[in-house]
């Protein structure tokens, strides 16, 4: 009886260990297949994302030649100037500017005019205050300008031009009535650029200097309005 029980126990123990060994052999292969399946799925997902988010970026060519780098501006102008006590007269001149930055520029200008007769001369007939040479009027100024309101000007619905409203102040001299006088000039203008090298200005200036005629010293104020055409280079 005891021997029979030992045989039954041995058979059960043998079968139990056989089941455990078989399980240990099956689990690694199942895990390997599972990992392989996951790897295939991840690779597939990576391929799908790569097709959706294409990392290729097309480079854009920039034409550097299209960027305007001209800082010098030169041109002539024509206008009217009211020489105090000597009427309103035609004025012609030249201007040269150097644009230091987008906001500031330095400008020098020279202009000439011929003064008319004063109200005193017209009222008194044959009385002449100035000789023809003394009536020659000229001015020279060097000033600093500031682009106050840069923007665009429009002609119709399709044409647009760069424009700027600017202020300028300058120091210079005025040669009139046989003498040169230190002058302060203040003014402003409106500039329109039709191309990257051609511009038109409309300016208003006031030239202030001390003068003594008819025995009275005073500060003259000569108002000037002019238009000019300038080119950039």
Same domain, residue pair 190 and 145: yes
Q: Using one digit for the tens of pLDDT, what is the confidence trace for 51-109? A: 554 555 566 554 444 445 679 999 999 999 999 989 999 999 999 999 999 899 999 99
Q: Which two tokens stand for residue 149?
A: 């309101």
Looking up tokens 């007269």 gives 89
Quick one: 44 and 108 in the same domain? no
Task: Verify that 48 and 77 share a domain, yes or no.
Answer: no
Q: What are phi and psi of 39, to 5 degrees?
A: -60, -40
Indicate whether 161 and 133 sit together in one domain. Answer: yes
22 and 76 belong to one structural domain: no
Which tens digit of pLDDT belongs to each residue from 105-116?
A: 999 999 999 999
pLDDT digits (tens, 9 = 90+) for 158-183: 778 889 999 999 999 999 998 999 99
The answer on 173 and 74 residing in a single domain is yes
Q: Answer yes or no: are the C-beta atoms of 209 and 181 closer than 8 Å.
A: yes
Residues 133 and 193 in one domain: yes
d(CA 198, CA 121): 44
* Domain range for 197: 64-232
In total, how many domains does the chain have?
Answer: 2
* Type and span of the H or E element at 62: none
Cα separation, 89 vs 79, in Å, equals 9
Q: Which of 13, 36, 57 is the last residue of a domain?
A: 57
């Amino acid at each position: 009886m005891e021997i029979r029980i030992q045989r039954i126990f041995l058979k059960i123990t043998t079968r139990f260990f056989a089941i455990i060994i078989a399980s240990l052999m099956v689990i690694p292969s199942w895990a390997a297949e599972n990992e392989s399946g996951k790897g295939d799925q991840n690779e597939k997902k990576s391929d799908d994302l790569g097709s959706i988010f294409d990392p290729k970026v097309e480079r854009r060519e920039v034409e550097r030649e299209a960027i305007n780098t001209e800082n010098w501006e030169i041109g002539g102008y024509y206008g009217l100037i009211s020489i105090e006590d000597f009427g309103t007269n035609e004025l012609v001149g030249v201007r040269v500017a150097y644009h230091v930055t987008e906001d500031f520029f330095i400008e020098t200008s020279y202009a000439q005019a011929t003064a008319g007769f004063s109200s005193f001369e017209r009222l008194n007939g044959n009385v002449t205050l100035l000789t023809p040479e003394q009536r020659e009027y000229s001015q020279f100024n060097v000033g600093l300008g500031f682009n106050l309101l840069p923007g665009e000007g429009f002609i119709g619905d399709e044409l647009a031009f760069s424009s700027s409203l600017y202020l300028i102040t300058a120091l210079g001299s005025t040669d009139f009535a046989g003498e040169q006088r230190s002058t302060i000039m203040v003014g402003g203008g409106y500039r329109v650029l039709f191309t990257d090298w051609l511009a038109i200005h409309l300016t208003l200036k006031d030239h202030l200097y001390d003068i003594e005629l008819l025995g009275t010293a005073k500060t003259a104020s000569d108002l000037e309005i002019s238009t000019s055409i300038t080119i950039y280079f």
